[in-house]
Chain A
Amino acid sequence: MTRSTKIFKYVGKRLLQGIPIILAIVIINFFLLNLAEGDAVDVLAGEAGSATPEYMAQLRKKFGLDQPLPVQLMVYLKNVLSLDLGYSFRHDMPVNELIFDRFAATGLLMTSTIILAVGFGILLGLLAAMRLNTWKDAVITVFALITYATPLFWVGLMMIVVFSLNLGWFPTSGMTNIAAFYEGWDYVVDVSRHLVLPTITLSLFYLALYTRMMRASMLEQYGQDYVVTARAKGLTERRITYVHVLRNALLPVVTMAGVQVGALIGGSVIVESVFAWPGLGMLAFESLFARDLNLLLGIFLLSSMLVVVVNLIVDIIYCFLDPRIEVN
Chain B
Amino acid sequence: MENFWSRYKRNHAAVFGLFVVALIIVMAITASFLYPEDPFRLVGKPLSKPLTNGFLLGSDSLGRDVASGIVHGAKTSLLIGFVATLVSVFIGIFFGAFAGYFGGLIDDILMRVTEIFQTIPSFIFAILLVAIMKPSMSSIVIAIAVVSWPGVARLVRGEFLAVKNREFVQACHTLGMSDLRIMLWEILPNCLSPIIVVGSLMVATAILIESGLAFLGLGDPNIMSWGFLIGAGRTMLRSAWWVCTFPGVAILITVLAINLIGEGLNDALNPRLKERQ
Q: A-side interface residues toward B, CB under 8 Å? A: 20-21, 24-25, 28, 32, 35-36, 145-146, 148-154, 157-158, 160-161, 165, 262-263, 265-267, 269-270, 273-274, 284-285, 288-289, 291, 293, 296-297, 299-300, 303-304, 307-308, 311
A284 x B124 contact (CB < 8 A): yes
Residue among A146, A151, A288 making CB contact with B212, cutoff 8 Å = A151
Residues of A within 8 A of B23 (CB): none
**Is the Cβ of B248 less than 8 Å from the Cβ of A293?**
no
The 3 lowest CB-CB distance pairs between A and B, nearest first, are A266-B123, A154-B248, A149-B256
Establish whether residues A21 and B122, one from each chain, have CB atoms under 8 Å apart when the complex forms: no
B238 touches A165 (CB 8 A): yes
CB <8 Å contact, B120 and A262: yes
**Considering the complex, which residues of chain B in the window 231-247 have a beta carbon less than 8 Å from any beta carbon of chain A?**
231, 234, 237-238, 241, 244-245
CB <8 Å contact, B123 and A146: no
In Å, the complex CA distance between A297 and B131 comes to 11
* CB-defined contacts of A25 to chain B, threshold 8 Å: 116, 119-120
Query: In the assembly, what is the distance between CA of A160 and CA of B231, in Å?
Result: 14
List, in ascending order, chain B residues with CB within 8 A of A153's CB: 211-212, 215, 227, 230-231
In the bound complex, residues from chain B placing their C-beta under 8 Å from that of A267 are 123
* A24 to B217 CA separation, bound complex (whole angstroms): 29
- Contact at A304–B123, with CB atoms within 8 Å? no
Given contacts A266-B122, A285-B216, A308-B119, 7 further A-B contacts (CB under 8 A): A25-B119, A151-B211, A165-B237, A165-B238, A291-B131, A299-B124, A307-B119
- Chain B residues with CB under 8 Å of A149's CB are 204, 251-252, 255-256, 259
A residues in contact with B248, CB < 8 Å:
150-151, 154, 157-158
Interchain residue pairs with CB less than 8 A apart (8): A151-B215, A151-B255, A153-B230, A158-B248, A161-B245, A266-B124, A269-B123, A288-B216
CB-based nearest B residue for A153: B215
Q: Is the CB of B216 within 8 A of A263?
A: no
Return the CB mask of B94-136 against A: 1 if under 8 Å, else 0.
0000000000000000001001100111111101110111000
- Considering only CB atoms, which chain A residue lies closest to B234 in the complex? A157
* Chain B positions 194 through 212: 1 when the CB is less than 8 Å from some CB of chain A, otherwise 0: 0000000000100010011
Say whether B218 faces chain A, with CB atoms less than 8 Å apart: yes
| Pair A160/B131 contact, Cβ less than 8 Å | no
In the complex, the answer to whether A151 meets B259 with C-beta atoms within 8 Å is: no
On chain B, the number of residues with a Cβ less than 8 Å from chain A's Cβ atoms is 40
Question: Is A270 within 8 A of B121, CB to CB?
Answer: no
The reply to whether B251 and A154 contact each other, CB–CB distance below 8 Å, is yes
- In the complex, chain A residues whose CB is within 8 Å of the CB of B211: 151, 153
A160 to B128, alpha carbons, bound, how many Å? 28
What residues of chain A lie closer than 8 Å to B237, measured between beta carbons?
157, 160-161, 165
Q: Known contacts A25-B119, A154-B251; is A300 also within 8 Å of B124 by CB? A: yes
> How distant is A162 from chain B, measured CB to nearest CB, in Å?
10
The chain B residue sitting closest to A18, CB to CB, is: B119
Q: How many Å from the CB of A198 to the closest CB on chain B?
A: 15
For B241, give the chain A residue with the smallest CB separation. A161
Cβ–Cβ contact A32 & B128, under 8 A: yes
Contacts of B227 in A (CB 8 A): 151, 153
Nearest-CB distance from B122 to chain A (Å)? 6
**Which residues of chain A are near B124, meaning CB under 8 Å?**
265-266, 269, 284, 299-300, 303
A311 contact from B119, B234, B251, Cβ within 8 A: B119
Given A153-B215, A154-B252, check contact A24 B121 (CB 8 Å): no
In the assembled complex, how far is the CB of residue A103 from the closest CB belonging to chain B, in whole angstroms? 15
Contact for B252 among A28, A150, A270, A289, CB less than 8 A: A150
A289 — which chain B residues lie within 8 A by C-beta?
A: 217
A154 and B122 form a contact (CB under 8 A)? no
| B-chain residues with CB within 8 Å of residue A32 when the two chains form the complex | 128-129, 132
In the bound complex, residues from chain A placing their C-beta under 8 Å from that of B238 are 165
Q: Is the CB of B212 within 8 A of A265?
A: no
Smallest CB gap from B204: residue in A: A149
Judge whether A21 and B121 touch: CB under 8 Å. Answer: no
Q: Most chain-B Cβ atoms within 10 A of its Cβ — which of A28, A145, A150, A154?
A: A154
